[in-house]
Amino acid sequence: MSLILNGDEVEAGGSVLDAVLAAGIELPHLCKDDNLPAIGACRTCLVEADGRIVAACSFPASMAKRVDTETKTARRIRRGVLELTLAMQAERGDEGGPLAGETASTASREGAAVDRFAVRTGRAVDATSPFFSFHEAACILCGRCVVACQDLQHISAIGLAGRGRDTRVTPGAADTFRESICTSCGSCVAACPTSALRPRGGAE
């Protein structure tokens, strides 16, 4: 199976995102962990496929004939989504902070303005686990930690609760991570693209 990707014919299986990354093209994909199934939550991976804007991580390559990652429309919409995503972070831009990782390189490459929208999230901190801490101010609600806990560890010690502006990462049904069923395996910390989940002993 092949498709035309940014003007070149490439072999493609899996998702459009798989084809894009295999071709060495940089594309934001903040909620897609390399080792986990697509969640389709962040919409930062939008591309144009046969004239339609689609999420590359969850769109099968077999359904596309022509994909362009850099059209004016795709870039503009992606930048807007990224700016809204960055607005979830009350804590931004400090050295060693959340914008130091995947979020930072993505925002800079896409030309996303960090301060275009007002900040939405709270600033709760859960530092009750001896192994990691959670910083709501850096969380973009991408869900990678939740999927890592479910799909890699089959534990579901971490979840997303609430709706809309009230959505929050929670330690399952417990009040704190120390009281939760978390086994401190570290999968959620490794999956988090913003360092909202951090190992203890690092920058907290």
Tell which residue, 49, 57, 103, 46, has the closest CA to residue 80: 46
Q: Which is nearer to ligand FES, 78 or 198 (CB)?
A: 78
Structure tokens at 21: 């990354």
As measured in angstroms, the least distance from the Cβ of 44 to ligand FES is: 5
Site pattern 104..143 for ligand SF4 (x: CB under 6 A)? -----------------------------------xxxxx
Q: Which is nearer to ligand SF4, 25 or 131 (CB)?
A: 131
DSSP, residue by residue, 29-98: -TT--TTS-----S-TTEEEETTEEEETTTSBGGG-SEEES--HHHHHHHHHHHHHHHTT-SS-SSTTSG
149 lies in the site for ligand SF4, by CB under 6 A: no
Q: Which CA distances in Å does 194 have to 11, 26, 40, 52, 74? A: 32, 18, 17, 29, 23
Structure tokens at 138: 């850096």
Q: Which of residues 15-74 bind ligand FES (CB under 6 A)?
A: 29-32, 40-45, 55, 57
Query: 137 touches which of ligand FES, ligand SF4, none (CB within 5 to 8 A by kind)?
Result: none
Site pattern 169..188 for ligand SF4 (x: CB under 6 A)? x-------------------
As measured in angstroms, the least distance from the Cβ of 59 to ligand FES is: 9
Query: 29 touches which of ligand SF4, ligand FES, none (CB within 5 to 8 A by kind)?
Result: ligand FES
